[in-house]
Amino acid sequence: MTNFKDKANLIWEVADLLRGDYKQSDYGKVILPMTVLRRIDCVLAPSKQKVLDYLPKVAKLSDSAKDLTLNKIAGVNFHNRSQFDFARIIADPNHVAANLRNHINGYSASAREIIEYFNFDDQIERMDDPKADILFQVVKKFADINLADMDSMQMGYVFEDLIRRFAEQSNETAGEHFTPREVIKLMVNILFDADSESLTQPGIVKTLYDPACGTGGMLSIGEQHLKDFNSGAKLEVFGQEINPESYAICKSDMLIKGQNPTNIKFGNTFTVDGLRDEKFDYMLSNPPFGVDWKKAQKIITNEHTDQGYAGRFGAGLPRINDGSLLFLQHMIAKMKTPPRDPEQVGGSRIGIVFNGSPLFTGQAGSGESNIRQWIIENDWLEAIIALPDQLFYNTGISTYIWVLNNHKDPERKGLVQLINATGSKDEDLIKVGERDFNRFWEKMPRSLGNKRKQIPENGETKGIGFITKLYGDFTENEFVKILPNAFFGYWRVTVEQPQKDDDGNIVTGRDGSPKADTSLRDYENIPFLQKGKHNQLIPQTIEEYFGREVKPHLPDAWIDESKTKIGYEINFTKYFYEFKPLRSLAEIRAEILALEESSLELEKKVLE
């Protein structure tokens, strides 16, 4: 950890050179592409001279044949044919701009495209302008920073740290770019846990996709996790990203690690699906919370209307200011068809981070409710994990991991597992001295934006390991509820009462039926399930509920069946609510008296 922080601090010192010539919000336009350039320059350094020596031998080959040959010599999926590396660029201070451009143009197409997404040539010209004249100093600063000793995980931390600093400088949203690494590790653990046996097979190949991949953190950690688990396994990663800088960083990381960089697509996932015909074994994502999809409204609405369930958004459209459930529908559309045999391995698993809104926003009949209904009635929702608050850099609100699976284990079929990993119960126990530590989170040594907590990695008794064990054990306890799918469904019914004349008589229509008094109209949400005599969940009908709960109080009331709608919601907090009796008056009185006595003693000391 210390190494990545030291490197990030060194890189951040470049900001001192930019100050005055660049606005703080524009620092990233220089520092991010220069970091990528220096990183790949360091990666290629050991084979640089070999590639240059081999150039005459490939002079007559086609460009594609040259790339294949020189990539093989470089030992990675890219190379550089330019005579200039960072050391040679700064050796000629009078021609830094020309030599830096020569260096960039010397990269093979896959690497050069990455730099182009930064529009870095504009910054070279700007820094080389006599009014600024800082290009040599900036390149010199980066040439002095060795990034060869950093693995992909550490470089990911460096980029995230830099992006966070840029966001703080310009009051932008850092959390849109990346997810805390411990949250990703938890998601990866959960996602791969159920397939641990099949993933040990030698030579196994799986695919992982993130439709909002940012700088590629989820893809990198997913790949590393599988390698640690089975060195003979291969995880092919895919992603799409709308932010040009994040896209370039992600693609450069994939290039360096030997992944196929063409699997990372640029653009808006909603409007242009860059991986339209692909299906994946695993999917992970942390789409921006409450993302507005107004710009893509026409395309999304047309796909919903014209293609229905043959498209991505057949189940429904959420409100315009929150596209979270659009991301989830998009991912569901990319699930592999599961095998019919429950014993066979197959299908797809999804892990996605949401805020609380997708759990319950939208009444019966709304787009959100219809999407939840579609997911739950198809038995795809496997688990929801409530995380501690203050985990993310850009928000302190509560967040939830949704786990979906279209090939559930037999014991999980028809059920949803809810895990309360907020740590709030442990905090209550700590206050009264019944616990020494929180099993779910620990305080950060130093806050990073809104992030004040982190999930530790402490075996099976705390943090990631403990939450993963709760999930894997699939047993109800103080932190886990296991509920049937129907538990989350309800009917929203319209209850009418009759109009009455001045004498209290019911007013009827021509057919003799009572006329409804709209001022007395009411609504009831009737759960599909009720608790039986022994506290077990049993089905109920609308008529049973109405006769039991409404008729005794409103004997003339009736239900307008034409307006009945089905709804689904997940009221997470309600399911884990524990009644805490109010403190006795005697206890409160004693506390007040003690405070008064303490105040008097303090007052005496001050007066003395």
What's the pLDDT at 300?
98
Q: Domains of the chain, with CATH numbers?
A: 2-150 (no CATH), 174-407 (3.40.50.150), 488-575 (no CATH)
pLDDT at 608: 65
Using left for φ > 0, alpha for ψ between -120 and 50, and beta otherwise, residue 535 falls in left
Supply the angle between the helices 28-44 and 2-12 in degrees, to the nearest 10.
120
Asked if residues 465 and 501 have their Cβ atoms less than 8 Å apart, the reply is no
CB contact at 8 A, 304 and 317: yes
Q: What is the pTM of this model?
A: 0.87
- Model confidence band, residue 435 (pLDDT cutoffs 50, 70, 90): confident
Closest CA to 464 of 355, 406, 395, 391: 391
| Chain segment 372-405, per-residue pLDDT in tens | 999 999 999 999 999 999 998 878 899 999 999 9
pLDDT bin (cut points 50, 70, 90) of residue 175 is very low
Whole-angstrom distance, CA of residue 472 vs CA of residue 398: 23
Helix (H, G, I), strand (E, B) or coil at 395: coil
Tell me: the pLDDT tens digits for 290-349? Answer: 889 999 999 999 999 999 999 999 999 999 999 999 999 999 999 999 999 888 889 999
Comparing 27-31, 44-48, 172-176, 212-216, the range with the smallest average pLDDT is 172-176
CA distance 181 to 347: 26
Q: What is the DSSP string of 425-436?
A: HHHHHHHTTS-S
pLDDT tens, 107-116?
A: 998 899 889 9
Query: Is the Cβ–Cβ distance between 255 and 110 less than 8 Å?
Result: yes
Question: Cα(347)–Cα(365) distance, rounded to whole angstroms?
Answer: 29
- The SS3 call for residue 239 is strand
Greatest extent of the chain over all pairs of C-alpha atoms, in Å: 107
Mean pLDDT of 502-508: 91
